[in-house]
Structure 1
């Protein structure tokens, strides 16, 4: 089982470095999700992200030290030129929409298409419906998103960066899935690289046995 590490990078040996990208429309809360996960912070007056930035956080997954390198980009069209470099080497992705803005959910298929065009085809993807703290303004039913996630073979969770709901779970689910895939691959190849240098997955093909499983319904939504 995965367990969260501290918020500062410890000086321990790093066994794995996993690059995870955040994508989705502007103002859906990508930067807030990142700030909550990396630094346990939330700011109401967050400014729009310009270009690309990333944060890291080191966690322990099954007794191994995993450094998550989380990349965040502007959702606006004019920054879309960064795509291929942004996706290069990414082994996980959080595809984020705002549950109070239907348009941000309607754009998800386009983001998914872009992700699949630029990223490794075996990337672990989680669909995130953010801002559950604004339940009274909900415009995207949980069922719609769950159905889409099942159809596309994505993990799915609803989150609130403001209330810190399911943020940790979302990242840990994605990182643990990547970790399991990499370990299966190492075992299959008799590859004991995992015990040597920090393994970066850049440029490596990851073999995923079938599509990612969708999270069981009881975890899928945080509304009571």
Structure 2
């Protein structure tokens, strides 16, 4: 199993990004937001079927509970800000600090500027996002869940980086015990904790 966590300020589009990748669902569809949501998607890498769990930080749940729980056993974290919300961009460092405090040292990170289809409301330039990612030494994408721009590409990059990390690779392959039909390369399901 490979665990990804999406973090960022409220209303930056973490749930929409998660839904678009995991279920190919458009924002505003009938998907519900339960505390500590995660979605599960199975992919085939080589001859191995891998379950990808994508969790998003839910602001309605106690911060302390989530910090202890959500980062546990995550191999990758997607840090999100909205290109139409300057404050969410300014708060990226706060999320980086939290990641350093609660996650593993060898975690893979990627920075995503969401809502890139909202060009007329842009408050953060592409160049600023890229510069911040370069300073942090991580990859950068701008995405749109609404228009399905760069969503699969961003997730594929972080998943490939995790798979190519020898230490993380062993952990993932050892925990992957689910087998699917050889005809099925991807499958999604909605999961939640109550």
TM range (shorter): 0.7 to 0.9
Partner of 1:113: 97
Equivalences, count: 177
Closer/same/farther in 2, CA of residues 142 and 30 from structure 1, 3 Å limit? same
Compute the TM-score of the two structures, normalised by the length of structure 2: 0.82
1:18 aligns with 2:13: no
- Specify every segment of 5 or more residues in structure 2 that has no aligned partner in the other structure, as ranges: 178-194
Please state whether the residue corresponding to 1:165 is helix, strand or coil.
Answer: coil
Query: Which whole-Å CA distance do the structure 2 matches of 1:184 and 1:109 have between them?
Result: 25
Structure 1 unmatched runs, 5+: 1-16, 200-224
Query: Following TM superposition, where does structure 1 have runs of at least 4 consecutive aligned residues deviating by more than 4 angstroms?
Result: 45-50, 183-186
What whole-Å deviation, never above 9, does each CA across 1:4-60 have from its counterpart, x for those lacking one? xxxxxxxxxxxxx10100100000000000111111101337899453110110112
Give the conservation status (yes or no) of the 8 Å contact 1:48–1:74. Answer: no
- The CA RMSD measured in Å over matched residues stands at 2.6
C-alpha distance in structure 2 between counterparts of 1:103 and 1:47, whole Å: 27
Tell me, yes or no, if the aligned pair for 1:21 and 1:94 is still in contact at 8 Å. Answer: yes
Aligned to 1:93: 77
Structure 2 counterpart of 1:80, from 63, 70, 94 = 63
User: Per chain length, whose mean CA-contact separation is higher, i.e. which structure has more relative contact order (CA < 8 Å, sep 6+)?
Assistant: 2
- What is the distance in 2 between the residues matched to 1:115 and 1:140? 23
